[in-house]
Amino acid sequence: MATRSREGTVLETRKARVKPPPMFKVIVLNDDYTPMEFVVIVLQKFFSMSREKATQVMLKVHREGMGVCGLYPKDIATTKVEQVASYSKKHQHPLQCVMEEN
Ligand code: TYC
């Protein structure tokens, strides 16, 4: 990054070394016990999906075993995984999310 004095002289030349933060996929996993409706509610509540999108994602997970809910910086992805675990436990369902570096 070039810095200029008031007279316009270049004082130093340096590259701005700012990398974008590493991003993490939050992935929801299928299981045999969580009701489909509960998964749809979770996807709407914690991943801001419309009911239609949440239903599509839930059905994909049901058929294929897993599906991506979103891409977030590490701390946000960690919070989403914890929120789903805690909400599912509270409602006595085994629904799980995991995260994976993109
Ligand atoms: N397989 C579950 C059922 O048949 C539904 C389900 C879908 C569960 C998606 C978890 O992430 C999931 N009730």
pLDDT in tens, the chain (102 residues): 444 445 555 556 677 788 888 999 999 999 999 999 999 999 999 999 999 999 999 999 999 999 999 999 999 999 999 999 999 999 999 999 999 999
Q: What letter would DSSP give residue 94?
A: -
Delimit the domains of the chain by residue range: 21-101
pTM for the structure as a whole: 0.84
CATH topology (fold) of 21-101: Ribosomal Protein L30; Chain: A, (3.30.1390)
pLDDT of residue 5: 45
Cβ–ligand 1 distance for 37 under 6 Å, the answer no
Distance 21 CA to ligand 1 centre (A): 32
φ and ψ at residue 44, rounded to 5 degrees: -70, -45
Task: Quote the distance between the C-alpha of residue 21 and its chain's center.
Answer: 13
CB-CB contact of 23 with 73 (8 Å): yes
Give the closest residue (by CA) to ligand 1 atom 2: 32
